[in-house]
Amino acid sequence: MDRSTPRESWQAECEAERLEWRARLLELVHRFKGEPDTLLPFHEVLALRPRGEHHLGLRSIEVDRVVGSVDRYEDFHRHFLPRTPHTLERWKRLRALQLSGVEFPPIEVYQVGEAYFVKDGNHRVALAKATGQKFIDAYVIALEVPVALQPGDTLKDLILKAEYAHFLERTRLKELIPPEEFSEIRFTTLGRYDLLLDHIATRRYFKGLEEDREIPWEEGVVDWYRNLYRPTVEAIQRLGLLKDFPGRTEADLYLWVMDHRYFLAQELGADLGPEEAARSYEARFGPWWKRLGGWLKKAILGKT
């Protein structure tokens, strides 16, 4: 039963109109920037390989950390702004009830890392976000995932983390490498973890030839990490290469340096070490002023 007065309904109507215009404006902004403007769908979270779930009970959670929905992700924009006339009409009725003093029951959410997905209560979240509410009561079900989500993650971030979760499951790297020795392997481009699996398989194959024995998968993973991946990343860190390639990660540069190392081996007939390969990559593909400096140095040395 609608307990709101005509005045409260009129105020809710005005706020709904402003909300509709705001949604249209933000949609144009996201489209202009080429950014996604949708909620994260919960079914994509299943690709993170959840290991289980447990109920945390009633909690007060941050509204800004609610980023997705189980089954209504197509009805709202990224910031939980109503996307369809039906959704906006529902928001309007709830706002009028809120103005009349009605208190709503807690929502239900799944917690995935630092982010939340609405199981029940999408319109209540939309109302909370639109009115600037900081916290909302929720019954929380926490999923145990090997790679946590953050509130600012996009769908691409979620897919990247799902690929990482599959890689960790396949390699058992976090179980095989001590925590103090392990560092996260993050890419900015999709499809790169399969290349790492190829690197591990290749390393394992040649190690088997050298030692004339079958190398267990787990031993091959550890050998690749300690003797190929980690030394290359440490060389990248020592040379400060990340500053020359903003927006990229150490894992991105690892693949680039390794490709360059293979190219140099074919060109020179000798396999350079991680640091020599990283220096050569920087000299050839780094910022123009570094490439110019390297060219001048060669020119000067050539004249002496």
Domains and CATH numbers, the chain: 6-144 (3.90.1530.10), 172-303 (no CATH)
pLDDT in tens, 239-249: 999 898 889 99
* Whether the predicted pLDDT of 37 surpasses 50: yes
Q: What is the DSSP letter of 225?
A: I
Q: What global pTM score does this model have?
A: 0.81
Residues contacting residue 236 through CB under 8 Å, at least 6 positions apart: 242, 250, 253, 254, 257, 278
pLDDT in tens, 69-117: 999 888 888 888 888 888 888 888 888 888 888 899 999 999 999 999 9
Average pLDDT, stretch 19-45?
Answer: 77
- Identify which has the larger pLDDT, 78 or 66: 66
pLDDT in tens, 122-168: 999 999 998 899 999 999 999 999 999 999 898 899 999 999 999 99
CA distance 272 to 250: 19
Instruction: Quote the pLDDT of residue 302.
Output: 52
14 burial (CB, 10 Å; 0-12 / 13-18 / 19+) is exposed
Instruction: Quote the pLDDT of residue 87.
Output: 87
* Whether the predicted pLDDT of 252 surpasses 60: yes
Phi, psi of 20 (to 5 degrees): -65, -45
Instruction: Quote the pLDDT of residue 295.
Output: 47
Longest dimension (CA), the chain: 93
Number of Cβ atoms within 10 Å of the Cβ of 149: 24
CA distance 37 to 155: 10
Q: Across the chain, what does the average pLDDT equal?
A: 87
State percent of the chain over pLDDT 70: 90
Residues contacting residue 56 through CB under 8 Å, at least 6 positions apart: 111, 140, 141, 142
Instruction: Quote the pLDDT of residue 194.
Output: 96
- Identify which has the larger pLDDT, 115 or 20: 115
Instruction: Quote the pLDDT of residue 4.
Output: 62
Pair 17, 110: CB distance under 8 Å: no
Q: Give the best-scoring range by mean pLDDT among 12-26, 90-104, 164-178.
A: 164-178
β-pair partners for 135:
62
* Whether the predicted pLDDT of 301 surpasses 50: no
Instruction: Quote the pLDDT of residue 66.
Output: 96
pLDDT in tens, 204-213: 999 999 999 9
